[in-house]
Structure 1
Amino acid sequence: MRNLDLGLLRTFVAIAEQESFVKAAQRVSRTQSAVTQQMQRLEAQVQAKLFQRAGRGKALTEQGVALLDYARQILAVHDEAVRSLAATESKEPITIGAPPDVADTILPALLSRFSKLLPGVRINVHVARGILLMDALKRGEIELTVSMLDRPGYERIVLRNSPAAWLCAADYVYDRTQPLPLIISEPPSMFREMALEHLNRAGVPWRIVHTSSTLPGVRAALRGGLGVTVRTIEMLSPEFKVLGDREGLPRLPDVTFYLYLRDFSTTGEVARQLFRAVAGSR
């Protein structure tokens, strides 16, 4: 007997309710390509075609409509079980860490997800640089943290993978005859290291025109048209644009967002339940 993945079912329901792969991707905090891959995996699990072309979009097949009802029931029972168990636990507040890049991009959707999985739990958010948050997690000052740093040895869940991109102001014009003007964070910074490593590897000349200790400082320099920076695609907005192959800039790797949990033996039950609930809803 095949087991159905709850995370795949949750994305499937989101697509059906949003009637759009793009909107569903935003709802489940994933990229559109990741959502497409999830549905391919779900179709393999149920051994049936779930979607069919309908104009420029896609609609549920007969098998998809049948699965939708079952998926809603399965998820409802799962979520109710999590809520019921959590209701018996202490509602002591838990603290989750988030780097600035996460705090105003993927964190709002994640907090909404937390509140649905464990309603009534008070969550405090501590915003700081990723390396400081991992130190705080190790010292026991926070229970959970979202991080883009790869730190084996901790309990962790992959939340999503996002493309990194060269960003600049929407009206910025890059002069390829001059060294690339870089706007970067103070070290240690994974985006600083990523930018310099890939530019050096590709032989692209560069110069640092602005260094900031904060994300708002980086954004301000971008808006002012000082140069180019590296961030994940979540930071893209109408005031910014992406540079790439056409401008002779090297391709950048995806960035993985993790949810880390402090050591099980020292973490409160509510934080452990929240972590398990997120893992079960993937």
Structure 2
Amino acid sequence: MIPNLDIDLLKTFLAISDTGSFTRAAEEVNKTQSAVSMQMKRLEELLGRPLFARDGRASRFTPDGERLVEYARRLVALNDEAVATFKRPELTGTVRFGTPDDYADRYLPEILARFARTHPLVTVDVDCLNTSVLFERTKRGEMDLALVTFGCNVKTDEPVRREPLVWVTSARHSTHLLEVMPLAISHAGCEWRSTVLAALDKTGRKYRVAYSSPNSNAVNAAVQSGLAVGAVPEMCVRPGMRVLTEKDGFPSLGEFQIGLMRKPGRASSAVDALARHVAESLGNLSPGMIAAE
């Protein structure tokens, strides 16, 4: 019979993962170090696998321990979501939420679906617009909350994620090997476009802008079909795409930040709840979870 995992054990396990030691984890979960050790021994007994290995005077995760981290995060998050559904007061209201379409169709549907389950009386109206438009509309109070990409004059006090920008090509084609490489990139004025063109000019690579669009779906379609090479946030790499690295002759494009922006004035409880939910959901995305999508 498959045993049931204790959420309290998993929370202690994640505290060890997040703090890097049994001692700091004990402080985090308000337990003694010996109690933490006993909990981890119990967790190993339940799973029938060693989760920790001695490394000098310290302990490190075994491969099984590393595998458990993401499962534990998902289980704890689902547990907390379920409990919160019944414990927190019912919020009501409407939130006007904006996001660039780069993020709108990959993770936000599931993130917003989870929010709807825990806050069924809150209506979220979503507008997909580019960051510069969202920035201005939110400043004017036309949007309650917006997810924006930092760059140029856009920056907020609520960063939620730092993300690499990566080169992508079709997994079924060799478009990146063409003598004059076709590019699919965003519209003029976008910082990602400037970053891509500057990187290619610096390497002396011959290219032509074959597809230019403010709509990320159009750019992604050109890449996936083998018509062009593009650059997307790592979290937005799609099935059918292959990431190109320096081994393929493509220079690093660096990282950028994603953050939340609120309209001026005091936010409603519904806006605060959605902001917290989006920030936690995006912040908890790991490379392993992204690759599994």
CA contact (8 A) 2:140 2:263 kept: no
Give, in angstroms, the shift of residue 144 of structure 1: 0.6
| 1:267 equivalent in structure 2 | 267
TM-score norm. by structure 1 comes to: 0.68
Looking at structure 2, the residues matched to 186 and 259 of structure 1 have their Cα atoms a distance apart, in angstroms, of 22
Matched residue type, 1:39: S
Q: Are residues 76 and 272 of structure 1, via their aligned partners in 2, closer, same or farther at CA, if it must alter by over 3 Å?
A: closer
Gaps of 5+ in 2: 1-6, 27-35, 41-50, 54-60, 284-293
Question: What is the one-letter code of the residue matched to 1:212?
Answer: S
Q: Secondary structure at the match of 1:249?
A: coil
Task: Compute the RMSD of aligned alpha carbons.
Answer: 4.0
Aligned-residue identity in percent: 22
**Normalising to structure 2: TM-score of the pair?**
0.66
Question: Which entry has the higher C-alpha Rg, 1 or 2?
Answer: 2
2:25 to 37, 43, 46: 46
Q: State the shift of 1:261 in Å.
A: 1.9
1:93 corresponds to which letter in structure 2? Answer: T
Structure 1 unaligned spans of 5+: 1-8, 17-34
Q: CA deviation at 1:128?
A: 0.9
Q: Separation in 2 of the partners of 1:251 and 1:59?
A: 28
Quote the offset at 1:97 in angstroms: 0.4
Moved more, 184-193 or 50-59: 50-59
Query: Does 1:120 find its partner at 2:125?
Result: no
Q: Whose RCO is larger (CA < 8 A, sep 6+)?
A: 1
- Residue 239 of structure 2 is matched in structure 1 by 238
Structure 2 CA distance for partners of 1:230 and 1:59, relative to 1, 3 Å: closer
Partner residue in 2 for 1:141: 142
Q: Is the 8 A contact 2:81 2:118 kept in 1?
A: no
The C-alpha deviation readout for 1:70-109, integer Å capped at 9, x for no partner, is x89x95799479822xx2x5x2211110111110122124
Alignment of 1:2-17 (within 5 A): 13=11
Instruction: After TM superposition, give the deviation of residue 59 of structure 1 in Å.
Output: 7.2
Residues 126-275 of structure 1 mapped to structure 2, 5 A cutoff: 126-150=127-151, 154-158=156-160, 160-174=161-175, 176=177, 178-263=179-264, 265-275=265-275
CA distance in 2, matches of 1:203, 1:38: 47
Deviates further, 145-154 or 161-170: 145-154
The answer on whether the counterparts of 2:130 and 2:214 sit within 8 Å (CA) in structure 1 is no
What is the deviation of 1:130?
1.3
Q: Which residue in 2 is equivalent to 1:6?
A: none
Q: Is the 8 A contact 2:95 2:123 kept in 1?
A: yes
What does the per-residue CA deviation read over 1:152-181, in whole Å, with 9 as the maximum and x for residues that have no partner?
Answer: 7744241x2332211111122146572332
Distance between the aligned counterparts of 1:271 and 1:124, measured in 2? 12
